[in-house]
Amino acid sequence: MIFDSIKRTVLVVDPTAKNRAQICDCLAQLPEIEAISAADGAQALDLFRECQPSLVLLDISLHDTDSLALAHAMRNWECANEQYGFASWTPIVFLSAVMDEEVLARGILAGGDDFLYKPVSEMVLLAKVRSMLRIVGMQQEIHEAHRQLREISRLDALTNIPNRRYFDETLAAEWKRCIRTESPLSIVIGDVDFFKQFNDIYSHQAGDACLKAVASSLNESLFRVEDMVARYGGEEFAAILPGTDASGAHAVAERMHRSARELSIPHEKGVGGLVSCSFGIATLRPSGHDLPIKLLQAADAALYVAKSAGRNQIKVAEAWR
């Protein structure tokens, strides 16, 4: 398993100091476990949020709160703090001195996973803990695999920068955010000049290498974490610059233009014998009356002007709204 080397935390919740000590001493036999304890529900919930343990051993009889309500609160916190589309799941094992089927059923409905009746033998307790932690390990492996797949699904397979799908998702999100904050939003669309001729002369393999190099250079031209450049399609790239006005977007486009040119990739049919890029820029303050497609169309129109004017240059969309 990926997570076998990770030391896991077990939260022991019991109102009696002697019981807490006994359980923690028992768990100390497992070197991969660190036991922490709480005497009441309030402290337990704080530790649960702070330490995010791998397992909770929860006595059914707490003095300050209903243990079932505590379990429910833990589950609610997990759901509210999900990552990558998954809510974490921490096994909760109730400890009870009373064999009551109704209480057991209510505990499971509240978010518990199992019951152990006290007094619990060390052998049974350690076996139960190992069993629950194996399940936790498998769950974490699934979450990690899902995270990796999610990341892969957002990247262009050739250039290893965000793909068109992720670009569209990000633009929609940034559009809404800029409406809320009344901030400007800029788009820069770039295109590798005479790329078809490059492929015809040097081969598609060389074309792929060229696109990889250009993509990397454009990506390195972005200095802010909120900015993003994606492969828009074929030899086209597009950058989303939230909170950036026209002059700021032009500065970014200049860095992108310069970095692509400084790759100094030979191109017999290119501008000045080298690979170059043309760029179109569009900026606006998004509103509920407009759609992101209008911004894209304006940037694309500016790119067309740049290419029509001789390529290897930057043009800004003028009075397009």
Q: What is the pLDDT of residue 319?
A: 60
User: What tokens were used for 223?
Assistant: 């200095």
Q: pTM above 0.85?
A: no
Residue 238 has pLDDT above 90, yes or no: yes
**How far, CA to CA in Å, does 166 sit from each of 185, 190, 315?**
17, 17, 25
* The residue type at 111: G
CB atoms within 10 A of CB 288: 8
- pLDDT of the residue at 84: 58
Whole-angstrom Cα distance, residue 54 to residue 248? 47
pLDDT at 152: 79
Q: Which residue has the higher pLDDT, 316 or 98?
A: 316
CA dist., res. 320 & res. 296, Å (int): 11
Q: State phi, psi for 242 to the nearest 5 degrees.
A: -70, 145
Q: Which two tokens stand for residue 75?
A: 């589950």
- Do residues 258 and 196 lie in contact, with contact meaning Cβ atoms separated by under 8 Å? no
What is the tens place of the pLDDT at every residue in 289-298?
889 999 999 9
Region(s) of the chain under CATH 3.40.50.2300: 8-154
Superfamily of domain 8-154: Response regulator (3.40.50.2300)
Q: Among 19-23, 58-62, 222-226, 269-273, which stretch is predicted with the lowest mean pLDDT?
A: 58-62
Candidates 282, 222, 276, 198; CA nearest to 246 is 282
Q: Is 157 helix (H, G, I), strand (E, B) or coil?
A: coil
pLDDT digits (tens, 9 = 90+) for 55-80: 999 998 876 678 888 999 999 998 88
| Structure tokens belonging to residue 157 | 């397979």
- The pLDDT-based confidence of 272 (bands split at 50, 70, 90) is very high
Q: Which amino acid is at 82?
A: E
- Sheet with 92-96: strands ordered across: 33-38, 8-13, 55-59, 92-96, 114-117
Q: Is 204 helix (H, G, I), strand (E, B) or coil?
A: helix
- The residue behind tokens 């303050």 is 285
Q: What is the CATH number of domain 164-316?
A: 3.30.70.270
**SS3 state at 149:** helix
CATH 3.30.70.270 range(s) for the chain read 164-316
Q: Is the pLDDT of residue 12 over 80?
A: yes
Per cent of the chain over pLDDT 70 is 95
Backbone φ and ψ for 285, nearest 5 degrees, come out as -100, 105
pLDDT at 102 over 90: no
